[in-house]
Amino acid sequence: MQEYELTVLVHPDRQEADLEKALTVVRDLVTTNGGKVVKEDNWGKKKLAYKVAKQDFATYVLMDVELPAPAPIKISNALNISEDVIRYLLVKVDARERAKLEAAKKNQSEDEEESYRG
């Protein structure tokens, strides 16, 4: 299984209940293709840099997922025809880069604690 980041832009007209339905569809899509959602982060409704599907806003949701090799193409095909998802980005995570990023975050938080005590 490989680690991926899946960023989904959900149609802005979806209310809270409809948003949860759309995210459930995405989660089910991941699990039915043999993957699992490790972490999910809802960034809320944000203004887009340019119009996408005639929309100025979208609800951003970032998911860290683990997927087997054939799953990404199947998920991409399904998200391409989804009415709730106006755009998505599925990116393979490089384990070495993630380790470097986490180490940098840890060092930064330690530095902040030291400066606070200072």
Query: DSSP letters of 34-102?
Result: T-EEEEEEEEEEEEEEEEETTEEEEEEEEEEEEE-TTHHHHHHHHHHT-SSEEEEEEEEPPHHHHHHHH
CATH number of 2-117: 3.30.70.60
d(CA 42, CA 48): 16
**Chain length of the chain:** 118
Q: What is the pLDDT of residues 26-73, one digit of tens each?
A: 999 999 999 999 999 999 999 999 999 999 999 999 999 999 999 999
> For residues 63 and 9, what is the distance between their CA atoms, to the nearest angstrom?
11
Q: What is the pLDDT of residue 116?
A: 61
Nearest-angstrom CA–CA distance, 37 and 20: 15
pLDDT of residue 31: 96
Model pTM above 0.85 = no
